[in-house]
Chains A and B, each alone.
Chain A
Amino acid sequence: MPVRLHEFAHCRAGDKGNVATLTVIPYSDADYPLLVRELTAERVRAQLARHVGGSVLRYELPLLPALQFVCTGVLDGGVTTSLALDTHGKSLSSRLLALELPSES
């Protein structure tokens, strides 16, 4: 049965220029391998396809543990010149958490 990412992880968005970073942090360290296996850059790119104009690059941070996704071409050029309502892309974090993943069992 699929589960939604928000049920076992949280996410924080950052911005720099036209780049958004989305860091996904599991509530339990034990769920990190599941995230590494299932939460690929391609899957994140597909989930946010309407919002990410460029590439998605994934960094693994096993000691935290967390995954960080660096998404380019997101912020309509940058925070101050963006025509979006959420100029920082902060709400992208919750959009990502709506992603459905196959459950462990």
Chain B
Amino acid sequence: MGPDRVQVAGARGGPRPDRLKVSVGYRAGHKVEAEISYSGPRADRRAALAADVLAARLAGLPVRPRIGVLGVAPPGADEHAECRVRVAALAADPDVLDTVGHEVEALYTNGPAGGGGVRVFTGEVIGVVSTLVARSTVTPSVTILEAGDARPAA
């Protein structure tokens, strides 16, 4: 139409949907993520060995851990090589997941040389799935919940 002017035409609407989308949160158990680093010459091979050790040690637990090696060790770049072994798992029982963390920590003194930087994170998982509900069953309202121990920002 011209500078800073546009023409919009043909806008129209349709009936609003009869159903609304709902994101349903559910308690999906607990998750652990545990990691350990290897650096220097053959970091990738030591990390792969540590991953194999973890796979064998965790085989008897009622979890299906995801075990992987992050990072690569390019030939000739030994001093920059850095690989991190990572294991993650979900379980209903958090005690089982503590064992996963302990197995990674044990690699400090019972695993390939030079392992360091172990971090173990655990927490509850809220899963999310979506579904549709009839609009007629929904009455909008607002509920404000305040944390009892919340502090004002400094």
Partners in one complex: yes
**Contact A80 B28, CB 8 Å, known A17-B130, A85-B70:** yes
Are the C-beta atoms of A83 and B125 separated by less than 8 Å? Answer: no
Q: Which residue of A lies closest to B84 (CB)?
A: A85
Cα-based distance from A102 to B128 in the complex (angstroms) = 41
Name the one of B88, B126, B129 contacting A83, with C-beta atoms under 8 angstroms.
Answer: B88
B42 within 8 A of A: no
A57 within 8 A of B: no
Query: Which residues does chain A contribute within 8 Å of B127, judged by CB atoms?
Result: 77-78, 80-81
Give the shortest distance, in Å, between B44 (CB) and chain A (any CB): 17
A79 within 8 A of B: yes
Chain A 65-95 per-residue mask, 1 if CB under 8 angstroms from chain B, else 0: 0000000000011111101110000000000
Chain B 123-136 per-residue mask, 1 if CB under 8 angstroms from chain A, else 0: 00111111000000
Are the C-beta atoms of A85 and B125 separated by less than 8 Å? Answer: no
Query: Which residues does chain B contribute within 8 Å of A79, judged by CB atoms?
Result: 128
Are the C-beta atoms of A83 and B130 separated by less than 8 Å? Answer: no
Are the C-beta atoms of A83 and B31 separated by less than 8 Å? Answer: yes
Are the C-beta atoms of A78 and B88 separated by less than 8 Å? Answer: no
Cα-based distance from A79 to B125 in the complex (angstroms) = 10
B66 within 8 A of A: yes
**Contact A83 B89, CB 8 Å, known A78-B127, A78-B128:** yes
Cα-based distance from A8 to B126 in the complex (angstroms) = 40
Query: Which residues does chain A contribute within 8 Å of B88, judged by CB atoms?
Result: 83-85
Query: Which residues does chain A contribute within 8 Å of B86, judged by CB atoms?
Result: 85
Query: Which residues does chain A contribute within 8 Å of B36, judged by CB atoms?
Result: none
Of the A-B pairs whose beta carbons lie under 8 Å apart in the complex, a sample of 5, sorted by A's number, is A77-B127, A78-B128, A83-B90, A85-B70, A85-B88
List of 5 A-B pairs having minimum Cβ-Cβ separation, nearest first: A83-B88, A83-B66, A81-B127, A81-B28, A80-B127
A78-B127, A81-B127, A85-B86 provided; 14 other pairs, C-beta below 8 A? Answer: A17-B129, A17-B130, A77-B127, A78-B128, A79-B128, A80-B126, A80-B127, A81-B90, A83-B65, A83-B89, A84-B66, A84-B88, A85-B70, A85-B88
